[in-house]
Amino acid sequence: MTTRRELTEAVGERYRRSDRDEKRQILDEFIELTGYHRKHAIRVLCREPQPSGKKPGPQRRYDDEVRAALITLWETADRICGKRLKALIPTLLDSMTRYGHLTLSKDVRQRLKQISAATIDRLLRDVREQAFSGQRRRAGGIGNAIRRAVPIRTFTDWNDPLPGYLEIDFVEHCGGTKIDGDFVHSLVMTDIATGWTECLTMPFRSGAFVVEHIKRVSHALPFPLRGLDCDNDSAFMNETVFDFCRATGIELTRSRAYKKNDQAWVEQKNGAIVRRLVGYGRLQGLEDTETLASLYQVSRLYINFFQPSFKLKSKTRHGAKVTKRYEAPLTPLERVLRAASIPEATKRSLRARFRALDPVDLLRQMREAQQRVAECSATGGVPTETRTGSDVPLADFLASLGTAWQAGEVRPTHHRRARIPHDWRTREDPFEHTWPKIQQWLESEPGITAKKLHERLTAMAPAMYSTAQLRTLQRRVKAWRSNRARELVTRILGDADAMKAGAATQRQPSSQNNRTVTITRG
């Protein structure tokens, strides 16, 4: 389009000031170049050039400075989605400015506060693609006789409870495929009303551990513990937990067997918090339990004070279509502060604690704790080095947030291990002793099938061979024939090349025959 416009402007001026014969010649050449219809070409060439009335486009509202600040905020928020990040931006701006981590102009701060979630996702699209280079679930537990005494509560039976009703569940860190053994477990406890989440560790499943963790969490929560809702795991459905809840007045309920949606709130946190922090590595033993506990001790403040989450507002079904609507994303702290049942003294204490927290420093401590957990998972024991204090200065860590997305995955617990190619046998070769005989048969009878060979082997040694080994023999015969064909082709082509080289040597004159010999007589 640009080339045609330039051609029209250059030819049009010459066309308008030419006589009839010259115009005909110019018009023919112009039609041949542009492919225009003759009448359209005449109108285009006769048209006087008009001054461009294009107005300058509006300047970008969200320029590179806003985008750079947004990337830093996104990294500080642990790479959450745009809708959650929009709700957290005012809080992060105030906290990071108060600690001197961000120095932004008033205009940039205002634009960051006014930015929409869709614009956030658009500005961070290429950042996310480069940052993220490209779930396993555990089967439900086994119930017992205690279940008959514990009432069932489904997903629809809550009806906006007060803060203090928690769903609890286990996450096992077995490294992927479920195998026998005692592995580290995470006990996840999520408040339904506020989303407040507490994660604790135990070296193995035990009702005694569950009771001790419930006692510890009940003192750390900003609201009284009113009820617990669990699945049918034997670590929950036992006399120890049942008697403790009945003695302390805690309402104990359970979900239906194999109905994960009855515990939707805690199941969501299993993936959004535990797997996001810890990954899927294998952790085993007391040392790994203590290392994971140090990660949860740091992350609980970051998650509950600086991580907004969605809360389902309504769900309607129209035939096969389900429409879900969510409330605006809020942090668990904000939901606690909005709850009318929380005393004002508790709210003042939470606000004071919030102002004393630095989200960047918490994120740095989380990354260091994740590094130690990753080392435990990789080595199967304690970290390779005993770390004390901070490994990375806060200023250096803050400077790296603006460019961390370029390196891809930054969580040490999610780095993939280099796989070793599997080139060794895992089972005994059933044809190890008879393979020379099979090769003789293949050499003497090239067209024989693997099934016929297997019938001969079965007739020779019926105790050694069965129909289950037919497929193995077929693969071996196929591989042998491929190698044999490759050898024959290589030999044939090699002989042909040698023959060509010999013929070329014969055609060339010998240097000895053409040599001039000078004899000097004495």
- In a domain, residue 419? The reply is no
Query: Same domain, yes or no, for 123 and 267?
Result: no
| Pairwise CA distance, residues 410 & 127, whole Å | 13
Instruction: Evaluate whether 154 touches 256 at the Cβ level (below 8 Å).
Output: yes
Instruction: Evaluate whether 438 touches 431 at the Cβ level (below 8 Å).
Output: yes
Query: Same domain, yes or no, for 379 and 470?
Result: no
Query: Same domain, yes or no, for 95 and 226?
Result: no
| Pairwise CA distance, residues 151 & 149, whole Å | 6
Nearest one of 3, 31, 1 to 15, comparing CA atoms? 31
DSSP structural state of residue 275: I
* The pTM of the whole model exceeds 0.85: no
Share of the chain above pLDDT 90, in %: 48
Query: Same domain, yes or no, for 356 and 473?
Result: no
What total number of domains does the chain contain? Answer: 4
Q: What is the pLDDT of residue 495?
A: 67
Q: In the structure encoding, which two tokens stand for residue 170, read together?
A: 């286990």
Q: In the structure encoding, which two tokens stand for residue 8, read together?
A: 């029209």
Q: What is the pLDDT of residue 389?
A: 45
| Span 297-324, pLDDT tens digits | 999 999 999 999 998 888 898 988 999 9
- In a domain, residue 162? The reply is yes
| Pairwise CA distance, residues 311 & 295, whole Å | 26
- In a domain, residue 442? The reply is yes
- In a domain, residue 500? The reply is no
Query: Same domain, yes or no, for 385 and 256?
Result: yes
| Pairwise CA distance, residues 346 & 478, whole Å | 75
| Span 31-55, pLDDT tens digits | 888 888 888 888 888 887 666 555 5
Nearest one of 265, 124, 288, 280 to 194, comparing CA atoms? 265
| Span 375-385, pLDDT tens digits | 998 887 555 55
Q: What is the mean pLDDT of the chain?
A: 85
Query: Same domain, yes or no, for 328 and 385?
Result: yes
- In a domain, residue 11? The reply is yes
Query: Same domain, yes or no, for 176 and 292?
Result: yes
Query: Same domain, yes or no, for 392 and 453?
Result: no
- Whether residue 433 is predicted with pLDDT greater than 60 in this model: the reply is yes
179, 417, 452 from 375: Cα distances, Å:
21, 12, 54
- In a domain, residue 22? The reply is yes
At which of 414, 447, 474 does a domain end?
Answer: 414
Query: Same domain, yes or no, for 154 and 124?
Result: no
- In a domain, residue 522? The reply is no
| Pairwise CA distance, residues 228 & 251, whole Å | 6
Query: Same domain, yes or no, for 386 and 262?
Result: yes
Q: In the structure encoding, which two tokens stand for residue 399, read together?
A: 């400077």
User: Where in the sequence is the domain holding 12, given as residue range(s)?
Assistant: 2-46
Query: Same domain, yes or no, for 369 and 473?
Result: no
38, 189, 303 from 11: Cα distances, Å:
15, 78, 69
| Pairwise CA distance, residues 205 & 166, whole Å | 19
Angle between helices 435-444 and 470-507 (to 10 degrees): 60
